[in-house]
Amino acid sequence: NAGVTQTPKFQVLKTGQSMTLQCAQDMNHNSMYWYRQDPGMGLRLIYYSASEGTTDKGEVPNGYNVSRLNKREFSLRLESAAPSQTSVYFCATLAGGHHYNEQFFGPGTRLTVL
């Protein structure tokens, strides 16, 4: 089992370019999350999806869109990248909806916007 996979691992964009970060899981988990990690700020939730077909905003959703394509895949799109979106992006999954369960994180995508 691969767990949670993310592509690409690294990406450099110019301001104004668009891109989609991909996340896939083979753990059959219902809920999926996108976080960004910045130095000194911990991880902040961008968007999440409690189940296939539903998405909701987190703490820092501005400048991002998401798609829960099916139970396995949850993508994050930057329509017009800005230098402030330079960060490490993590996808995570949670089993069984909203209970006392562990979130499993992918390896991250390191994004630089010039």
Binding site for other proteins (CB under 8 A): 4, 31, 33, 35, 40-45, 48, 50, 58-59, 90, 92, 94, 97-108
Minimum CB separation from other proteins for residue 100, in Å? Answer: 5
Minimum CB separation from other proteins for residue 8, in Å? Answer: 14
Complex with other proteins: residue 2 or 14, whichever CB lies closer = 2
Minimum CB separation from other proteins for residue 45, in Å? Answer: 6
Q: Is the dihedral of CA 28, 44, 74, 22 positive or negative?
A: negative
Strand partners for 75: 67
Complex with other proteins: residue 27 or 43, whichever CB lies closer = 43
Strand partners for 54: none
From the list 36, 21, 102, 110, the residue with the least C-alpha distance to 69 is: 21
Minimum CB separation from other proteins for residue 67, in Å? Answer: 19
User: How many whole angstroms separate alpha carbon 73 and alpha carbon 85?
Assistant: 22
Complex with other proteins: residue 5 or 67, whichever CB lies closer = 5
CB 25 within 8 A of CB 93: yes
What SS3 class is residue 85? Answer: helix
Complex with other proteins: residue 80 or 112, whichever CB lies closer = 112
